[in-house]
Copies of this chain bind each other. A is one copy, B any other.
Amino acid sequence: MSQPQKPLILVCNDDGIFSPGIKALAEVADEFGDVEIIAPDRQQSAVGHAITIQTPLRTRAFRIDNRFNGQAVSGTPADSIKLAHNQLLNRKPDLVVSGINHGSNAGINILYSGTVSAATEGTILGYPSIAVSCTDFDEDADLTGAQDAARKVIGYVLNHGLPRGVTLNLNAPSGALKGIKWARQADSRYIEEFEGRIDPHNRSYYWMTGKFQLIDEDGHNDISVIEKGYASLTPIQYDLTSYSLLNDLKDIEL
């Protein structure tokens, strides 16, 4: 009788395949099954759900820390998941995890995040998928608490699955884990987003910068949960339909 096969866990991120965060997540995934790391070959923060259609993609295989099989993809996080699903894996993954991102992906940051889009792409393709971020963007941040939180969520999802169309988005502060709280995505935005400068040739250019602004007023959102020192866990969906407005407007003839 053959051994039952261990679950296959596909690990991706947006900081690039050689970031500390992806190794920290692979270590946790390794406790649950076989790990394949397939991720962008370089930093791809804030690429959102971009995919590469104008140029071809290349891949390169690596051993990471002499321990994990890795393939670096010359594209975005969403490209990496699509390519893994279609071409690079020998069997279908049981779980997709993306991260550990160096920096928060809570509130409006969810829309800009390549880390979250990799997990969302996993969901679109039919796999249970989790995005994991540490709210401290220092590359040397203590990821222990984020790892502990990821361990709990991965264990839950491998046991219980997730409904089709839903991704889990986890954000943990650095340091020890105080606990995990369910939360919705905070309404938020950036203000004063650009710094204008003049180059040596006297032409203007702009750097994106800006201050994060929380608009939400009650405390049951991801940003507020994190501010209280907890990890936040938010189920998000790729069906963007506003059903409440659709219901209000559906009888209006245009």
A interface, CB within 8 angstroms of B:
43, 45-54, 56-59, 78-79, 82-83, 85-87, 108, 110-112, 117, 120, 124-125, 149, 152-153, 156, 163, 165-166, 180, 182, 184-185, 187, 189-190, 192-194, 196-197, 203-208, 233-243, 245-246, 249-250, 252, 254
**Bound-state Cα–Cα, A56 to B209, Å:** 10
Do the beta carbons of A185 and B240 come within 8 Å of each other? yes
What residue of chain B has the Cβ atom nearest to residue A207's Cβ?
B56
* Chain B residues whose CB sits within 8 angstroms of the CB of A163 once the complex forms: 245
Measured CB to CB, the closest approach of chain B to A59, in angstroms, equals 8
Q: Which 6 A-B pairs have the closest CB atoms?
A: A48-B49, A48-B48, A236-B240, A235-B245, A184-B241, A235-B242
**Other-chain residue from B79, B83, B149, B184 in contact with A243 (beta carbon distance below 8 A):** B184
**Bound-state Cα–Cα, A166 to B163, Å:** 25
Do the beta carbons of A193 and B48 come within 8 Å of each other? no
**Bound-state Cα–Cα, A188 to B12, Å:** 23
Do the beta carbons of A241 and B234 come within 8 Å of each other? yes
Do the beta carbons of B51 and A254 come within 8 Å of each other? no
Measured CB to CB, the closest approach of chain B to A155, in angstroms, equals 9
**Bound-state Cα–Cα, A211 to B238, Å:** 19
* Chain B residues whose CB sits within 8 angstroms of the CB of A189 once the complex forms: 124-125
Do the beta carbons of A239 and B187 come within 8 Å of each other? yes
* Chain B residues whose CB sits within 8 angstroms of the CB of A184 once the complex forms: 239, 241, 243, 246
* Chain B residues whose CB sits within 8 angstroms of the CB of A125 once the complex forms: 189
Do the beta carbons of B249 and A182 come within 8 Å of each other? yes
In the complex, 12 of the A-B residue pairs with CB atoms within 8 angstroms, ordered by the A residue number, are A46-B52, A47-B50, A48-B48, A50-B112, A56-B197, A56-B206, A57-B207, A78-B112, A82-B190, A111-B120, A235-B242, A237-B245
Measured CB to CB, the closest approach of chain B to A87, in angstroms, equals 5
* Chain B residues whose CB sits within 8 angstroms of the CB of A236 once the complex forms: 240-242
* Chain B residues whose CB sits within 8 angstroms of the CB of A49 once the complex forms: 48-49, 111-112
**Bound-state Cα–Cα, A235 to B239, Å:** 11
**Bound-state Cα–Cα, A185 to B108, Å:** 21
Do the beta carbons of A46 and B51 come within 8 Å of each other? yes
Do the beta carbons of B50 and A46 come within 8 Å of each other? yes
